[in-house]
Amino acid sequence: MSGAEAARSPDYLKYLRPDVVAKLSNMELVARLVVEGFITGLHKSPYHGFSVEFAEHRQYMPGDEIRHIDWKIYGRTDRYYIKQFEEETNLKAYIVLDGSASMGFSSEKRLSKLEYASYIAAALAQLLTQQRDAVGFVHYDESLRTYMPPHATKSYLREILKALHAVTPANKTSTSATLHEVAERIKRRGLVVLLSDLFDDPRKVMTALKHFRHKKNEVIVMQVLDPIERSFAFDRDAVFRDLETGEKLTTQPWHIQKAYRGEMKKFLDFYKKECRQNNIDYILLDTSTPFDVALFEFLHKRQKMG
C-alpha cells in the first residue's frame, strides 16, 4: 500500500499514533505518512477553515492576479484561494531540535523524547515543504551541532530528514546559549519552532527565546516530556541516573512524589506564563500524545501568519 492509499484508508489515523510510527524505521516514510494522515484527518474533521488546500494553496491577497484563483475551491468553500507555484516561498522556518542526553529518556517501551520530537520535526519539515515554505534545521546539545539554513526544495527536505535520522542523544544541554547563537544567525525574520524538554535554566531559556522575538521572529515552543516525568508514577524502589551527568540516586519514589509533582507544576507553569506574556506559542506534549496535536497547533499558527 502506498502512503497515499494508507492515508485514505479508514485507519489513516493510525499514523498519528506514536506507538504505530515507532515501528517504522525510515524517516522519509514517517514524515510522509504522518502528514498524509493529518491532512486526510482534517478533511474528515469538524475543524472549519482547515483542509488539504493548506498544502497547495494560500488565501487570496489584494494584489494577487485573479487568473490564479482556484474557482473549484471557491465553489466548495466560498473563499478565494490562490494556487501556489514551485518558486513561491512564503516563509522561512527554522526547526530547532534539542539532542542532549536527557532527550534520550523513555519509559514503558515508549518512543524516547528525542525520537518523538524528531518525528514531529520531520512531519513539520514535510508540511512546510509542501506549502512551498523554506525550512531549515538546527540540532544542538551542549553546543550547536547542525545548522542548515532554510530552503524550499524537495531535495533539501531529504537532506534535512537524513540529518534528523542521524541525531543521537548525547552530552549536556545548553539550550539558552544555542538559541542566542541561532538568533544572531537569522538575518530575515521567520518562524522558529523549538522542540525540547527544556531541562535547562528556565530564566536563561526565556531570555534566549525573547531574543528571537526582539528580532521580530514568530516562535513556537513544543516542550516534549515522557509521561512519567510529569506523573512520577513509579510503583517500586528505583535508582535514578542523571542522563547528562551520570549521577545516581536511590530512593522510594512515593516519598518524594508529591514534592516532585509540585516542582514540576511550577516548572511547567513558568514556561506557560512567560511564553504567553511574550507572545510565544507554547504547547506541552508527552511521548504518548498523537502527532496531530502538534501539527494542528502549528497549522493554526501558520495560517494566522498569512
- In tens, the pLDDT along 85-107 reads 544 457 899 999 999 999 999 98
- So where are the chain's domains? 51-84, 92-305
Coil vs helix vs strand at 290: coil
Is residue 226 predicted with pLDDT exceeding 70? yes
Find how far residue 89's CA is from the centre of its chain.
20
DSSP type of residue 84: P
Minimum mean pLDDT among 7-11, 32-36, 247-251, 271-275: which range?
7-11
The rounded distance, in Å, linking the Cα atoms of 115 and 127 is: 18
pLDDT above 70 as % of the chain = 79
Q: Which of 137, 183, 184, 181 is nearest to 163 (CA)?
A: 137
User: Does the predicted TM-score (pTM) go above 0.85?
Assistant: no
Is residue 67 predicted with pLDDT exceeding 80? no
**Grid cell in block for residue 170:** 548525547
CATH fold group of domain 92-305: Rossmann fold (3.40.50)
Q: Say what the pLDDT of residue 75 is.
A: 80
Q: Say what the pLDDT of residue 206 is.
A: 98
**Grid cell in block for residue 4:** 497515499
